[in-house]
Amino acid sequence: SERTLVLVKPDGVKRGLVGDVLARVERKGLTIVAMELRTLDADTAKAHYAEHAEKPFFGELVDFITSGPLVAMVLEGHRAIEAFRTLAGATDPVKATPGTIRGDHALQIGENVVHGSDSPESAAREIKIFFPDRF
Ligand code: GTP
Ligand code: MG
């Protein structure tokens, strides 16, 4: 069993997609082991997205992820990291397969509804940022 950090980003919360994401996660058989609604400050956002610090869209990314409340959760289950990324679909929602979260709900790459950790190392790092005392 494995853990992953998932976010319903501010666009997803504003659009009322939290329930839809949770329903897909539960239907898939992943277990929610922690969950919180919160608004990130810029320092936390920069820490979370540190790997993208040199990208041209980093400023936009930090502004967007701090623009309103998000839902952070830790999911646990068999190959949870890959399982959630499959549910999420491709980063670019135009290319995301219909039936995935991004394929069904998004159009712009900057507002693609969810985040999911991309490796066990990222998951451990991100879980520590969002739930420092819990795991
Ligand atoms: P996350 O699960 O959110 O990390 O998505 P990902 O792993 O599929 O993509 P990646 O880590 O490469 O990029 C992180 C986030 O940056 C993406 O989810 C997008 O929201 C955003 N992003 C990526 N490329 C662009 C871009 O060209 N422009 C903008 N504005 N945002 C981008
Ligand atoms: Mg990523």
Per-residue pLDDT of the chain (135 residues; tens, 9 = 90+): 999 999 999 999 999 999 999 999 999 999 999 999 999 999 999 999 999 999 999 999 999 999 999 999 999 999 999 999 999 999 999 999 999 999 999 999 999 999 999 999 999 999 999 999 999
CB 38 within 8 A of CB 72: yes
Question: Which residue is catalytic, options 48, 52, 105, 115?
Answer: 115
Annotated active-site residue 115? The verdict is yes
CA 112 to centroid of ligand 2, rounded, Å: 11
Q: Considering only CA atoms, which residue is closest to atom 24 of ligand 1?
A: 109
The pTM assigned to this predicted structure is 0.96
Q: Does residue 84 belong to any structural domain of this protein?
A: yes
Can you tell me which atom of ligand 1 is nearest the CA of 111? 20
Return d(Cα 108, Cα 131) in angstroms, integer: 29
Q: Does residue 135 belong to any structural domain of this protein?
A: no
Q: Does residue 111 belong to any structural domain of this protein?
A: yes
Mutate to test the pocket of ligand 1, among 9, 109, 118 (most ligand atoms within 8 A of CB): 109
Q: Does residue 85 belong to any structural domain of this protein?
A: yes
Q: What is the ipTM of this complex?
A: 0.92
Q: Considering only CA atoms, which residue is closest to atom 3 of ligand 1?
A: 115
Return d(Cα 100, Cα 61) in angstroms, integer: 22
CATH number, domain of 84, equals 3.30.70.141
Can you tell me which atom of ligand 1 is nearest the CA of 9? 3
Report the domain count for the chain: 1
Residue 72, pLDDT score = 98
Domain of 27 in residue numbering reads as: 2-130
